[in-house]
Amino acid sequence: MERITGRAEEITLRRWEDFLSSLSKRFGPLSGKVVFEGIPDVSLQDVGGLRTAKREVESLVLSLIEVPLPDGEEKQEILEIHQRKAEALAGRPLFKPLDFDAITARTAKMSGGDLHEIVQRTLEEKARLDGSGHEPGLVETQDLLRVIEEYRKIKEVVEKIRYGQYL
């Protein structure tokens, strides 16, 4: 990478070189080139200009990193991880055997974070039942599918609000 004159620019560039190096160590060689375009000369600006430059560089670098949504097998693995963690924390079984094909079929366009939230909401529902004196039973596929449908509706409303369709 070409060095830019000025102390602030050298420090910023060095940090991004370290960042990109750690990315390549973790994910393998980066394909293509990383190009920093339009980085302003902050040596003539006040300290606030450094923040602007940092945001511009971050947006350029972050736009180069794409994390695709998990596929069916990856979704199953994510759900199994959250299932194991919850059961380890509780110290007892919390789930019946699940039909992962049925679950992953209803989770199109959902991220690992969405799946985590669905498992959490399902377990919270069971805990509320237990707290109110009812027998909650173990989490079944139908419990997760019901929570997935509720979560989908909420997510749709949030998307509409985000894009101004409910204004």
Question: Taking residues 54-66, what's their average pLDDT?
Answer: 64
Q: Check: pTM over 0.75? Answer yes or no.
A: no
Q: Amino acid letter at 150?
A: E
114-118 contacts, C-beta under 8 A, 24 or more apart: 114/151, 114/155, 115/70, 115/75, 115/78, 115/79, 115/82, 116/78, 116/82, 117/151, 118/144, 118/147, 118/148, 118/151
Residue 67 in domain: no
Instruction: Check whether residue 152 and residue 79 sit in a common domain.
Output: yes
Please give the residue range of the domain that contains residue 15. Answer: 7-62
Q: Give buried/exposed letters for 94-123 (b at 16+ CB in 10 A, else e).
A: bbeebebeebbeebeebebebbebbbebbb
pLDDT at 40: 47
Q: Which of 126, 162, 106 is nearest to 114 (CA)?
A: 106
Query: Residue 79 maps to which CATH number?
Result: 1.10.8
111, 70 in Cβ contact below 8 A? yes
Q: How many helices (H) and strands (E) does the chain have?
A: 6, 0
Kind and range of the H or E run holding 158: helix 141-162
Instruction: Check whether residue 84 and residue 119 sit in a common domain.
Output: yes
Whether the per-residue pLDDT at 121 is higher than 70: the answer is yes
Question: Taking residues 103-108, what's their average pLDDT?
Answer: 94
Instruction: Check whether residue 123 and residue 155 sit in a common domain.
Output: yes
